[in-house]
Structure 1
Amino acid sequence: MKKTFLIILIVIVVLVGAVIAIPILFKQNLIDAAKNTLNKRLNAEVEFADLKLSLFRNFPQATVELSQLSIKGNNEFKNDTLLRVDLVQTKMDLSSLFKRSEMSIEEIILERPEIKLLVSESGSANWDISLPQTAASASAEPTQSDADEFQLQLNKIEIRNATLLYSDKESNMNLALKDVNSSISGNMYDATSKLQSEGTVGDFSLAYENVTYISKTSLSVHTLLDVDFDTMKFTITENEFLVNRLPLQLSGSVAVPNDTTFVDLQLKTKDSDFENFLALVPPVYESYLKEVTTTGSANISGIIKGYYYDENYPSFNLKLEVSNGDFQYADLPEKIKNITADVLIDKPQGDLDLTQIKINEAHAEIRNNPVDLTLKILHPVSDPYFDGAFVGKINLSHLKGALPIDSVNMSGVIDANLFAKGNYSDVEAEAYQKVQSDGIVLLDNFVFDSPDLTQKIVVPNGQLDFSPESIHLRGLNVHIGQSDFRLSGKVSNYLNYLFKEGVLQGNLQLNSSLVNLNELLRLQKRPETQSDKTAPKKENSGPTPDAEAEVLAFDVPKNIDITFKSNIKNAWFDRLLITDISGSIQVVDEKLLLNNLNMNTLDGGLKMNGSYKNTGQNQPLFDFGFDMASLDIPMMYKTLSGVRSIMPAASNSTGKLSSNLTFKGRLSPQLKLIPATANGVGSLSTQSLEINNSPIFNQLGGILKKEKLKNVKVDDFKANFILTDGNLLLTPFTTRVIGQETKIAGSLNAESLLDMRFDFNVERELFGPDIQKILAVIPGNQKITMLPAGVLIKGPVGEPKVNMDLSATQKAVTEATKDDLKKSLDKLGEGLKKLFK
């Protein structure tokens, strides 16, 4: 008994040891087999992070897991990943682990695979990764070792959370299947079999020539297939196919006996209720179809038949027919009625360019306002030929009464009558005379009001005339808040802009009686943050930090080249009133260009040239030139906050300021200058400048007569300056201050720190009584009629410190009283020190 128990225990220990040891002993065997097989068959870079073998999970079968598998192409696709799989899990017979050949795989599970199929502009495909065969190898029979490397005895293939992306740069087509889950089960190694296939696609999208034809569409399929693996023919015996929620029936067969694929499939709707047709609406919009009543019928049917080889595609015929369709929301007063449609997509066997798309009829009505559309498209791949018309009158108030457009408020009437016929190649070549087109769109009391906007957009009236070449705007009036615009002129190349990412070009006349830039820069509402919702509201607390951080920087649209010849009577920017604006404003290359823009402001004239372009950081780049003529200094101080910060003395000044300035740099998100980024050159001049009750000049009361310092007159002057990284350097210049010759030089740095020097030549009679007393006791003082005096002004612009430099004064006194200097110099020095202590 003990002996039997001991034998059983030894067997258990050996088996457990084997189960533990086998994954370790044979792991490298599997890795070598996998890598060798892949490298022999693929012209690509194959990588995987790890390979794990488990005998416990599905004993007595072995489970092999390959993690982080990736396949990258070579040559022009060397940076593109063809396949990436987080985890590949397989089950195989345990005996396969003991063989370097004759390995079999019974089940495959792919976790989160991502397949990227790419076709380059030259037509090369990244999935063409098979190694080229030599003539000998191509004609030779497979060897026994080749045949025995792997044997597929599959019962199940499962794909979880997959993504398939297809991008064809040659034809400009993009297709995406996201959130794909699929499983195929059945004996896949017998000559014939029945396979159960189930799958779902969460998001199917298709775009061609930059136009999105399908998006946010879900697919679901449940199919039973009869399979003949000898002829590779798959016959659909049972099928349930859902496009979004629309049930379709798919029947027929697909055969792949060789390089050619033969297709014979039929598609049709299970029933013809118009309600089922609405199921084509993508799931993301399904909430809009709740409590909708419908009548009418709708049918979808199609046939795909023929073969596929190289660029030769099978024929297909897809029909959509809608008749007597009505639908109405339960809580809305209006009905969309008399909906009819007759749509055909047809192609014979052959090239895809033989496809024809025909909308023979598409009609709908709201009240008594009908809308009709017809369209025919031929040769969609090579050179699309189009022939279409749109005729309709849409009362937006009625439309809002029929559709739950809750996010926006629209009203007014759009009356359109448009048709076009021709080849798109003629549009691209701008051979518009070969294209037949005409049309007109009338706008009447159009109003657009959105929660995302701070102001309504109102078009009281307007007319747009369409031709293949251009759109003519005839008296298009637009009101946005207090601003009004009257636009006329021509916009061209709009077809290339809409369909080919071409550049929209235009020359427009813009007239306005008022443009309120304060409103327009805040037209888009700032998204409300959580802190905005929870912060307590305070009354009369002044601007909040969030308000001060308000983003006013704006992007200029791309693919636009439109010039506005402007005539604006009045405009407001901050507290600045600008009048009689004329000149050219151009929108091009994501820039705003100002060309010879003349205007009146601050009781003077201003001419502007320059450019503006936003950045990803909302710190716009600018390059401006200003020519300012006779701007009123008191008005500048009251109106412009920048003047108040750098020229506080202007608060009590009178006179005119002119300047010529060219500089560039960056603006903050609030459209304020970032000083350290500014670089440029310029000049400034004054006319009739008088500085009254200046704190700086009041500090000179110790040496000059105080009554002369109350109203300081400065003679007209012109000064040049250089701006480097926000630091302004003033080139020395000479003028007369209080009638006294004065040399001025200095700088203002990017931190608003002032460093100025005034060198006066002061007539003796202007010195104050204290200086007069000192001079009176100096022997030979009658020779002194004028003395130099230096004034240093340093510190923050708002509160600089004023100091005297009397070194030149002492030297002048020395020169004037050489004979008596020995006796009087010490006395003079002590007196001056005492005076300016």
Structure 2
Amino acid sequence: MKKVLYVVLGVIVLLFAALASIPLFFKDSIKAKIDSEIANAVNAKVYYNANDFGLSIFSSFPNLTVSMGNFGVVGQDTFAHDTLAAVKSFNAVVDIMSVIGGDKIKVKEISLIEPKIRVIVLANGKANWDISKPSATPTDTAKSEPSSFNIGIDKWSIKDGNICYTDLTIPLKAEVLGLNHTGKGDFTQDIFDLNMQTVINSLSVTFDKVNYLSNKKLEADMTLNMDLPNAKYTFKENNFKLNEFAFGFDGYVAMPAAGIETDIKFKTLETKFKSILSLVPGVYMADFADIKTDGTLAFDGYAKGLYNEKQMPAFGLNLKIDKGMFQYPKLPTAVTNIALDMAVKNSKGIIDETEVNISKFHLDLGKNPVDARLTLKGLTNMLLDADVSAKLNLAEITNVFPVDGLTLKGLFGLNVKAKGTYNDSLHLLPAVTANMNMIDGFVKSKDFPAPIEKINFMASVENPNGQMEATKIQVPTFGMELEGEPFSMVAFVENLVDYQYDVKVKGGVDLTKITKIYPLEGMTLAGKIKADIATRGRMSDVTAKRYAKLPTSGTLTASNFSFVSKDVPQGVKITGAAMSFDPVRAQVSKFEGFLGKSDVSANGYLSNYLAFIFNNEKLTGALNFSSKKFDTNEWLTKEEVATKTTAEEPMTVVEIPKNIDFVLASQLGEVLYDNMDITDLKGNIIVRDGTVRLDKGTFNLLGGAFGMNGLYDSRDLTHPKFDFDLDIKNLEIPKAYQTFNTVKMLAPVAENMTGKLSTKFKINGELGKDMMPVYPTMNGAGLLNIAEASLKEMKLLSGIQKVTKLSGSNSGAVNLKDLLLKAEIQNGRVFFQPFDVSAGGQKINIGGSQGFDGTIDYNIKMTVPAGAAGVALNNATSLLTGKAADGSGNVKLNLKATGNQNDPKISLLGGGSDGSSSLKSDVKANVQASLNDAKAKAQATADSLRKAAEDKAKAELDKAKADAEAKAKEEADRLKKEAEEKAKKELEKLKDKWKLPKK
């Protein structure tokens, strides 16, 4: 019996162990599947901690519990820094038998703990929630078979959730804080009841910059009848409460194929006036329960019809308040006789035909009545009929509303009558008569005891016929005084089609006192501004560029002005400034102050400023700018400072306006930038036609004198260009290496170099999107002059010594004296004409090129005594020539340097290209090169001798031929003469024989 009991217990233990091990067996495979599905389906970064992912069968036995903690979704690209969702904890309880078998997965409960959701829709319509990847193959919905997968959820909950929705296309912002929600319903059924309870601790809604709800509490208890086959949802029991304002719904919402069908009626469940008072921003506060109220409230409305992209349902609402009253505790005066009768209706569902009728609005602020009436039909072509009148003694306002530390006085009056059509696109206005005035106004704040007093103004708007040309806006008088400092203004504006204006401003403003009364968040202003400006004109003259008909004159001065904000914590101070105006020019006669800790002084002018302001035409001007010490480092942001030791944040192409023609003549005694101390900076910065030119720029830096002319051309933003002309004298090379990153990149050899450098160089090229040079486009030329310098630990010489085995080639420093380097930049490479250096008592000739990527291609020539070549080289020479080396004569070495400047590869011409061949092969290559050279010289000598012999033989042959020809001619003449003599004698004999005359 005991054995049977042991066996049974063993089986039970084994079963529980198997159940406990199931999550462990499948945990890794489930996680891998989740990761795979996320990667295939979501175009976003989904993060979670694998250690917070769990499966358990005991926490809700016999169901399976799936849990995940601390996970979220972060967007990509435009939304790379925006978290779409972050959830502290997620739990799901699943019927394990429905997972193992059956066609429905039954979820018993789902819960979200502290979810934070932020939904953003940009102005261009792009939304951060649109993160799903498109399917790899389109789905043919017409031919696809229905899925056998089904899921049912019994209960769900959200605890302490926060949701923020921002839609810039509307624009709308809604914020839900402290969301607690529970719901239950049997989704496995076709028709069932859905029960939901929701509490939102803080609800805020802002639409088009108007705050409609601010930190309101919402409670909702709702039961919906869910008809899933017909997509119809009917309100059964519901109760909504927004602050103290409770209301309910009757009817249904359905979702046919054509859109959303509604038939809903709503009405308030509370008839006390106090309930709607709780919706007013600022009223719902700690002492709201103690406010005395009276009066009744009626609120109801409906929405009926179809909603889709083409139409809206008809809708309407009614709000009535009768005999309303409220009075704050501890305040002597109540707001009484509150009456409102408002109806909004739209019977056709066409939003533009909405009608608003406020037939009655009245309240008494103590003894100060306020009355209004409004009838409005249409939203685009708006038919308007309105009256507003108010007479207020401001001293009594603070007896009605609790405004701590604020004192008001004065008599304020307002009367407005408007009737007619308002259509902005057609430039139509209703006929308007409006008057507003203040007599002996007085404002005093607890934060600043000095009041703004003697506030007196009159203003009126008149339009007798609704035509915009007939509109007149007049402020014949406006005046106030702050601690004895008067300020006045007179303004007239007529004709809203062709504005005709006449404005005069005179007086002083103490910004310190003004901001004490009206604080500016995150900003501090101080100082005094005085103005005496008059301007008048007509907009048609502005459009036609008849600026001479726009007389503008006056002066503007500022003293002890200071400005500090979150964005400009360094602060700006103006100890004194003065400007004067005329229609053509604004003259800055004085500007003295500080930018942060840097003193600044300026004077100059701006011309054509009216054309620039009104028509964006070219602004011309000149300004003289000076500073004794200007520290740019304090203006670098924390991010910029951080990038000095980490990765640099790339810049973007800077566009220079084409409508500015401006010359800034600068003279700065000392400029601090990064780790550089620049002194005696002078030059002209010329902004013109989309370019910035530095003209005649000079300054001292790192012991050297700099002269610089340069150009930055942004006219083609896809290919911005630069062109600089440098003249540098006596620049200390070690300091240049320590200061400039470009020197470290282009000439790392300068790290071990001492001496000074002078140069005259021209360089140009294109800039990339990060404002860095595009090296393949760079071209330039110039001279580098080194009077005397030395270089230690030169890797190039180390390579030469390794290949040639020359003793002493790497001992000591490379000496550079009276060196004049001719350099040329072509397509991103620097080409050097051959130059001589001295190392270890040996002369080295170097020429070739080096790339901005660090690659080198140098030809190196050396002529050294044979004895200086070392024993190994001499023995190798004896081996190859068969003769003992006597150490006399010179050896010429031709070397090639390739590879990278930090790892050069040196080889003898004809030898190994990697600089690692044996001494014997190197010497053999050198001897063979010498033999080839001797052979070439011998061949040249033989050719010369052969040609000389041929020339001599030809000359002797020509001479022999000439001698032969001369002898032949002489012999012919002799024979001819002998023949003639013989013939003559024979003729004489015949004459004697025949006794002929002798002649």
More divergent stretch after superposition (619-628 vs 448-457): 619-628
Structure 1 residue 320: deviation in Å? Answer: 0.8
Match of 2:724 in 1: none
For 1:661 and 1:330, the matched residues in 2 are separated by 56
| 3-state SS of 2:399 partner | helix
Superposed CA offset, 1:10-67 (max 9, x none): 2354244334422221223433555566667667665544432222322222211233
For 2:338 and 2:192, the matched residues in 1 are separated by 47
Superposed CA offset, 1:270-291 (max 9, x none): 2423233324345873335343
For 1:123 and 1:493, the matched residues in 2 are separated by 39
| Counterpart AA for 2:22 | I
1:252 aligns with 2:251: yes
Structure 1 residue 398: deviation in Å? Answer: 2.4
Is the contact between residue 554 and residue 614 of structure 1 (CA under 8 Å) also seen in structure 2?
Answer: no
Is the contact between residue 609 and residue 626 of structure 1 (CA under 8 Å) also seen in structure 2?
Answer: no
More divergent stretch after superposition (354-363 vs 280-289): 280-289
For 2:82 and 2:330, the matched residues in 1 are separated by 52
For 2:555 and 2:559, the matched residues in 1 are separated by 5
Is the contact between residue 512 and residue 526 of structure 2 (CA under 8 Å) also seen in structure 1?
Answer: no
Match of 2:363 in 1: 364
| Counterpart AA for 2:291 | V
| 3-state SS of 1:484 partner | strand
| 3-state SS of 2:284 partner | helix
Higher relative contact order (CA 8 A, sep 6+): 1
Match of 1:463 in 2: 458
Q: Aligned match of 1:88 in 87, 90, 93? A: 90
Structure 1 residue 318: deviation in Å? Answer: 1.5
For 1:493 and 1:61, the matched residues in 2 are separated by 78
1:442 aligns with 2:437: yes
Q: 1:722 to 1:330 in 2, by over 3 A?
A: closer
Q: Aligned match of 1:666 in 595, 617, 622? A: 595
| 3-state SS of 1:138 partner | coil
5 Å matches for 1:639-718?
Answer: 665-667=594-596, 674-675=597-598
Superposed CA offset, 1:643-682 (max 9, x none): xxxxxxxxxxxxxxxx987667414xxxxxx246779757
For 2:523 and 2:79, the matched residues in 1 are separated by 42
For 1:611 and 1:493, the matched residues in 2 are separated by 39
Query: What is the RMSD computed on CA atoms of the aligned residues?
Result: 4.8
Is the contact between residue 460 and residue 474 of structure 2 (CA under 8 Å) also seen in structure 1?
Answer: yes
For 1:140 and 1:71, the matched residues in 2 are separated by 34
For 2:432 and 2:438, the matched residues in 1 are separated by 20
Is the contact between residue 328 and residue 335 of structure 1 (CA under 8 Å) also seen in structure 2?
Answer: yes
Structure 1 residue 264: deviation in Å? Answer: 1.8
Q: 1:445 to 1:678 in 2, by over 3 A?
A: closer
| 3-state SS of 1:275 partner | helix
Superposed CA offset, 1:331-378 (max 9, x none): 433232221112223334545444444433221113443212234555
Structure 1 residue 103: deviation in Å? Answer: 4.3
| 3-state SS of 1:333 partner | coil
Match of 1:162 in 2: 161
Match of 1:140 in 2: 143
Is the contact between residue 526 and residue 560 of structure 2 (CA under 8 Å) also seen in structure 1?
Answer: no
Match of 1:195 in 2: 194
| 3-state SS of 1:60 partner | coil
| 3-state SS of 1:190 partner | coil
1:452 aligns with 2:454: no
| 3-state SS of 1:254 partner | strand
| Counterpart AA for 2:148 | A
For 1:384 and 1:555, the matched residues in 2 are separated by 46
Superposed CA offset, 1:730-783 (max 9, x none): 99xxxxxxxxxxxxxxxxxxxxxxxxxxxxxxxxxxxxxxxxxxxxxxxxxxxx
5 Å matches for 1:501-520?
Answer: 508-512=503-507
Match of 2:860 in 1: none
Is the contact between residue 291 and residue 327 of structure 2 (CA under 8 Å) also seen in structure 1?
Answer: yes
| Counterpart AA for 2:272 | D
Q: 1:285 to 1:523 in 2, by over 3 A?
A: same
Q: 1:419 to 1:41 in 2, by over 3 A?
A: farther
For 1:271 and 1:681, the matched residues in 2 are separated by 70
Match of 1:616 in 2: 567
Identical-pair percentage = 24
5 Å matches for 1:300-311?
Answer: 300-311=299-310
For 2:14 and 2:351, the matched residues in 1 are separated by 65
Structure 1 residue 451: deviation in Å? Answer: 1.9
Structure 1 residue 233: deviation in Å? Answer: 2.4
Is the contact between residue 184 and residue 196 of structure 1 (CA under 8 Å) also seen in structure 2?
Answer: yes
Unaligned ranges ≥5, structure 2: 463-467, 535-551, 580-587, 603-623, 629-665, 673-677, 683-999
For 2:512 and 2:562, the matched residues in 1 are separated by 20
| Counterpart AA for 2:111 | I
Match of 2:977 in 1: none
Structure 1 residue 200: deviation in Å? Answer: 1.7
Q: 1:213 to 1:359 in 2, by over 3 A?
A: farther
Structure 1 residue 226: deviation in Å? Answer: 2.3
Match of 1:105 in 2: 107
| Counterpart AA for 1:457 | I
| 3-state SS of 1:406 partner | coil
Structure 1 residue 72: deviation in Å? Answer: 5.8
Q: Aligned match of 2:415 in 417, 438, 441? A: 417
Is the contact between residue 454 and residue 524 of structure 1 (CA under 8 Å) also seen in structure 2?
Answer: no
For 2:432 and 2:681, the matched residues in 1 are separated by 63
Is the contact between residue 341 and residue 362 of structure 1 (CA under 8 Å) also seen in structure 2?
Answer: yes
Is the contact between residue 553 and residue 618 of structure 1 (CA under 8 Å) also seen in structure 2?
Answer: no
| 3-state SS of 2:170 partner | coil
Match of 1:18 in 2: 18
| 3-state SS of 2:285 partner | helix
Is the contact between residue 661 and residue 681 of structure 1 (CA under 8 Å) also seen in structure 2?
Answer: no
Match of 2:406 in 1: 408
Q: 1:88 to 1:421 in 2, by over 3 A?
A: farther
Is the contact between residue 332 and residue 401 of structure 1 (CA under 8 Å) also seen in structure 2?
Answer: yes
| 3-state SS of 2:28 partner | helix
Unaligned ranges ≥5, structure 1: 495-504, 528-549, 557-561, 568-593, 600-606, 629-658, 668-673, 685-719, 732-837
Superposed CA offset, 1:146-193 (max 9, x none): 533xx3221112122333333333332333333222111232222222
For 2:527 and 2:63, the matched residues in 1 are separated by 62
Match of 1:176 in 2: 175
Match of 1:478 in 2: 480
Match of 2:2 in 1: 2
| 3-state SS of 2:315 partner | strand
| Counterpart AA for 1:10 | G
**Count of equivalent residues:** 583
Match of 2:532 in 1: 565
For 2:383 and 2:205, the matched residues in 1 are separated by 21
Is the contact between residue 244 and residue 281 of structure 1 (CA under 8 Å) also seen in structure 2?
Answer: no
| 3-state SS of 1:188 partner | coil
5 Å matches for 1:743-782?
Answer: none
5 Å matches for 1:224-623?
Answer: 224-258=223-257, 260-281=259-280, 285-329=284-328, 331-348=330-347, 350=349, 352-376=351-375, 380=379, 388-420=386-418, 426=424, 434-466=429-461, 472-489=474-491, 508-512=503-507, 553=525, 564-565=531-532, 597=555, 616-621=567-572
Is the contact between residue 216 and residue 284 of structure 1 (CA under 8 Å) also seen in structure 2?
Answer: no
Structure 1 residue 241: deviation in Å? Answer: 1.2
Q: 1:206 to 1:376 in 2, by over 3 A?
A: farther
Q: 1:69 to 1:490 in 2, by over 3 A?
A: farther
Structure 1 residue 213: deviation in Å? Answer: 2.5
| Counterpart AA for 2:11 | V
Is the contact between residue 54 and residue 66 of structure 2 (CA under 8 Å) also seen in structure 1?
Answer: yes
| Counterpart AA for 2:595 | R
For 1:372 and 1:219, the matched residues in 2 are separated by 32
TM-score by length of 2: 0.51
Superposed CA offset, 1:58-85 (max 9, x none): 2222211233444566786676555443
For 1:340 and 1:675, the matched residues in 2 are separated by 62
For 2:406 and 2:593, the matched residues in 1 are separated by 40
